[in-house]
Amino acid sequence: MTNSIADIRSRIADAHRAAVAGGIPDPRVVLVPTMGALHDGHLALVDYALELGDIVVVSIFVNPLQFGPKEDLASYPRTLDQDVARLAERGISLVFAPTASDMYPDGQVGTRVSAGEVGTRLEGRTRPGHFDGMLTVVAKLFHIVSPHAAVFGEKDGQQLFLVKRMARDLNFPIEVHGVQTVRADDGLALSSRNVYLDDAGRRSALSLSAALAAAAAGGDLGVDAATAAAHSVLAGEPGIELDYLAVVDPETFLPVADGYSGSALVLIAARVGTTRLIDNRSIIVG
């Protein structure tokens, strides 16, 4: 593990030379960006990365640029030693865990990547500036690691869309891959923030995935029927404070029009007590 930009670049170069010497003429580097507090969902990204490439780099960085002044930056779970140990069990030795001063030595960043209009919707409406901060650090990681591919989870659907668009718009020679959301046996999407849930909160949180399932079941009757089915599930759970429930076109991440038919993505965000959770599900409408 290293927090040095120069050192991680040197280690990647060493791994590249070793791979070539071992008979891999053009080794592929794959990046898995994380904020740590690793769970099985993160490890699924790592496993996918190991299938994609020959050299896997995992970054662990709680990025202050994507947290608002009233968000949980200070209390966000940090388990670095445990994370490194779990990655070592997967054979991952290239772990880049910089501090904020390593990534932003001048403090405030004068140059940022803009997420555009899509970045102001849904998560961006609730968390202004979040996606600009996220894209800025991802762009920096892309430059630092120079991977052939990068792997993200589909649970953060808006993030995945914006990273793919940034890579395309800014001509990063990087394949951006999404990995299916990993869920607990009861259906709850795995999240680092799940540790904040008590037993009652966890039971309430199950209504998020249940609402998405209801939307999927009602999709053949149209968008209105799908959203109504989801809302009916949430209405029966007083422990949920809904932020948004939206149906978007996965190609544009804009709300689907009336009468839309085809593939769509249902997204949900809600507070369970003081814990904010997100989830999404692909559905077929019409």
Q: Which residues are catalytic?
A: 42
Alpha-carbon distances, residue 185 vs 153, 170, 201, 215 (angstroms): 18, 39, 16, 20
